[in-house]
Amino acid sequence: MVFPIRSKARRILSTMAAVRPSSTCSNYRRKSSASNLTNSAEVEQGTHVELLPSVKRQPVRRLEASSDSMELAHECSNCEGENVSKANNGPDLFGEMKERFLSFKKHKFLKESEHFQTLAQAQAPKFMVIACADSRVCPSNILGFQPGEAFMIRNVANLVPPFENEASETNAALEFAVNTLEVKNILVIGHSSCAGIETLMRMQDDGDSSLTHSWVINAKVAKLRTKAVAPHLSFDQQCRHCEKESINSSLLNLRTYPWIEDRAKKEMLSLHGGYYDFLRCTFEKWTLDMNGIRPVGGGRYLDKDRELWG
C-alpha cells in the first residue's frame, strides 16, 4: 500500500503546482523574504489578487486536485484501519487458513483428482468415529484418516447417550452411518485431560441445569464405577480412570441401539474403544467382546485385542 499512495501523492502535488502559477509563488516568496511585520498584510493582499485570476481560469483542475485529495485521504484511512485491525487482532488467521487450503489443493486434491471425483459421487467410509470436540485432539491428524475413510462426530467428552434418550446429533449420525452408509466399525476415542470428564467428576447432585451438565450426565455410570473402584486415588487419577471408563460406557450404550446390536451380533459391525494420551503420545485401542453380557442398567463389558501404540 505504501508505493501506490506515494505515487498518488506526487501526482496530486504536481496537479496543485499546475494550478498555482510559478511566477506568483516565486513573487510571493521574494516579497515575504524582503518584508517585515509592518508590510506583511500588503504582501498577502497582493498575492491574493494575483492568484484569483488563475483560480478562475482553471476551476476544473482545482476540482480534480480536490477529488484526488479526498481519494488519497480515504485510502490512507483504510490503510490505517487495516493496520489497527491487524494490531488488535494479531495474525491474519484466515490468511493462514487460505494458505493451508491452497496447499491442500495443490499437493493433495489436484494430485489425487480422480479419487476426489469419485468421492464427490458417493462415500463408503470404513469407520464411524466418535471423538471429543477438544481442539487438541483431531482424529484425522492423530490417526491419519484420509478423505472418505471416516464418518465423524465430535462432541463434549466423546459420549454416546443411551438409545432411550431424545434425538441428538450423535445418535442421528449413528443412525445414518450404520443404516445408510453401513459402516463396519464404530470407534469411540477418548483422551487425557478431558475437561468434559473433569466437569462430570466435579458435579454435585444438586440439579444443575446447564447444557454441559445435562450432556455429561450421560456418563454418570462411568463416574459411579470410578468412585467405587478407585476411592483411594487422587482426583486427577480418578479423572484419568473415568476417561477410559466413559469410553466403555459409551460402547455399552451403543448396544442399546437395536440396529447396532443386530448388526454387531451378526458380526457385520465391530465396536472399538481408543484412548489418546497426548502428554505421552500413546494410543490404546481395544475391541468390545460381543459375547459379553448385554448391558442392562449399566451392565458389564469384556474387551479383546487390546493394544498400546507408541
230 near 247, Cβ under 8 Å?
Answer: no
Question: Which residues form the domain of 191?
Answer: 123-197+246-309
H/E segment holding residue 129: strand 127-132
Which residues does residue 215 pair with via DSSP β-bridges, in sequence order?
Answer: none
Is the pTM higher than 0.75? The answer reads: no
**Residue 154 within any structural domain of the chain:** yes
159-188 confidence digits (pLDDT tens): 999 998 788 899 999 999 999 999 999 999
185-220 confidence digits (pLDDT tens): 999 999 999 999 999 999 987 667 799 999 999 999
Domain count, the chain: 1
Q: List the CATH number of the domain containing 261.
A: 3.40.1050.10
pLDDT at residue 83 in the model: 52
Identify the CA nearest to 136 among candidates 213, 197, 195, 71. Answer: 195
Annotated binding site: 132, 134, 191, 194
301 near 288, Cβ under 8 Å?
Answer: yes
pLDDT at residue 206 in the model: 66
**Residue 100 within any structural domain of the chain:** no
- How many helices and strands, by DSSP H and E, does the chain display? 13, 6
pLDDT at residue 39 in the model: 42
**Residue 289 within any structural domain of the chain:** yes
Annotated binding site for Zn(2+): 132, 134, 191, 194
